[in-house]
Structure 1
Amino acid sequence: MYKPISLFIAIRYLWNTHLPKFKKIITILSIIAIAISTASFIIIMSMINGSEESFKKNVLSFIPHLIITNKNQYIKKSELPKNILKLHNIEKISDFISKEIIVQSENDIAMAEIIGMDNTNFFNMKNYGIKNILDVLKTGSYNIIIGEQLAKKLNVYIGDKLKLILLSNKKNFFSGQIFDQRIFKIISIFSTKSEVDYYQILMNKKDSLNFLNYSKNYVTGWRVWLKDPLSLNIKEIKKKIDKLVVLDWKIQKGELFKAIKIEQYIMLFLFFLILLVSILNIFITLTVHTIEKKNAIAILKTQGLLNWKIMLVFVMFGSGTAIIGNILGTIISVALIIQNDILKFLINIFFNETDIPIIIQPYQVFMINILSTLFTIFLTLYPSWNAVRLKPSRILSND
Structure 2
Amino acid sequence: MVALPLLAANMAAAIVFVILLLPGVLKGESVSGTVAAAMVERIALNAQLDQEITELKQKAQSGVCVGDGKSATQQEPPMAQRDVASAGNVEEPPPPPQPGPASRFPGAGLPMPSLPKIERFEPKEAIVASDGEDLPLVDLLERSVVMIIVQGTEGTSPSIGTGFLIDADHIVTNQHVVGEAGEALIVNKHLGRIITGRVVGRTDGPAKKGELDLAVLRLAERPSELAPLRVAKNGRKLQSVISAGFPGFLLKVDADFQRLQEGDFSAAPELIINSGQIRRPGQASAAVSFILHSAEIAQGNSGGPLVDACAQVLGVNTLIMEGGEQSYRTSWALTGEALLSFLASKGMSATPAETACNPQDSREGESASGSPNAAPARNP
Normalized against structure 2, the TM-score is what?
Answer: 0.23
Greater Rg over alpha carbons, structure: 2
Question: Greater share of helix residues, 1 or 2?
Answer: 1
The higher relative CO (CA closer than 8 Å, separation ≥ 6) is in: 1
Normalized against structure 1, the TM-score is what?
Answer: 0.22
